[in-house]
Amino acid sequence: MNTRTLGKGAHALEVSAIGHGCMGMSMSYGPAPERSEMIRVIRSAVELGITLFDTAEVYGPFVNEELLGEALEPVRDRVVIATKFGFNVSPSGTTPWSGLNSRPEHIKEVAEASLKRLRTDVIDLFYQHRVDPDVPIEEVAGAVKDLITEGKVKHFGLSEAASETVRRAHAVQPLTAVQNEYSVWWRKPEEALLPTLEELGIGLVSYSPLGRGFLTGKVHASADFGEGDLRSTLPRFTPEAMAANQSLVDLLGEVAARKGATPAQVALAWILAQKPWIVPIPGMRSVGRLEENLGATSVELTTAELAEIDEAAASVQGDRYPEALERLTGR
């Protein structure tokens, strides 16, 4: 497995070129799979060369961190674990979250609880999950800086933050990575965020790099998303939006056929070709999907192919989130 570096200097973090987004193992895409099978998949990912595993306290809540803790405990010295803070979550875990909370004392409480669930003595990369407008980002960065000084956290990150927020946080505690949705069909980070990250030497971790499955070519306008599937609530997954965006998936399939690859591999290869400091973290719940997605590191797209994909992506239709969720991003 090829590696990439997030951040620079003393704040650099070397990880596999493709990481593992673990949320879907516990929530958001229908009933959670069998825990023992997910442990097997996670350990297979390690054997295949993946070193970056992404989770959060709200995934479940709590159960995703517990899953990773159990799965990765035997190989802890071989992996990088990223988790997140920033929401109010009931101690019982009966509700996903009830508002934002990045007060410094809460951040430290979350860190202690996450360490226990992850069965580790240090969090490799600790993200603010969403920017809290009620807490200055300087205070958030200061709280994480304290945790780094105490040896409980190694690296600081933000998720879905605006460029100016990134700059302010970075001035207090240098950021290693910003996590943001970024893919062939969601390219807004290119407008301001990516130039800022490049200037400051901060890496990008790309979540939903396969468009929540749509870019694989296996999700069609006639799809019936079951109860508990996040996609049933997203504007881009209405039948009309999926039909309108099918031409992009068709093109990915055409390029894939030429390369002896799959549409998913081409979509990931497109991300890898953008910047050497971008690391996609697709969600993978089977060994077969692991093997397929990791094959993207061997797919090289030509300048003409990249331009062809860019042209097709320019006409993508539909909002990515309902308005209430979109308001939590870009602060």
The H or E element spanning position 45 is: helix 35-47
Task: Give residue for tokens 């040896």.
Answer: 151
Residues 6+ apart with CB under 8 A from 52: 15, 16, 19, 20, 79, 80, 82, 205, 279, 281
Side-chain-side CA neighbours of residue 166 (13 Å): 30
Terminal-to-terminal C-alpha distance of the chain: 35
Beta strands of the chain (E only): which ranges?
3-6, 13-16, 20-21, 52-54, 80-85, 123-128, 153-159, 177-181, 203-207, 278-280
Chain centroid to CA 204: 9
Q: What is the Cα–Cα distance from 32 to 117, expressed in whole angstroms?
A: 18
pLDDT 10s digits, 183-222: 999 999 999 999 999 999 999 999 999 999 999 999 988 8
Q: Which of 178, 172, 174 is nearest to 195 (CA)?
A: 178
Inter-residue contact 309 to 252 (CB < 8 Å): yes
Give the ranges where 56-136 is alpha helix by DSSP (H): 63-72, 104-117
pLDDT score, position 94: 66
pLDDT 10s digits, 143-183: 999 999 999 999 999 999 999 999 999 999 999 999 999 99
Q: Which of 161, 85, 164 is nearest to 126 (CA)?
A: 85
Low pLDDT (below 50) residues in the chain: none
pLDDT score, position 69: 98
Which residue out of 29, 59, 127, 207 is catalytically annotated? 59
Give CA separation, 5 vs 54, 92, 183, 258, in Å.
16, 37, 19, 30
Residue 113 sits at φ, ψ, to 5 deg, of -70, -40
Any idea where the domains of the chain sit in the sequence?
3-326
**Cβ neighbours, 10 Å, residue 256:** 19
Q: Is 59 labeled as catalytic in the residue annotation? A: yes
Inter-residue contact 145 to 172 (CB < 8 Å): yes
Residues 6+ apart with CB under 8 A from 54: 19, 20, 21, 22, 23, 82, 83, 179, 205, 207, 281
The CATH number of the structural domain formed by 3-326 is: 3.20.20.100
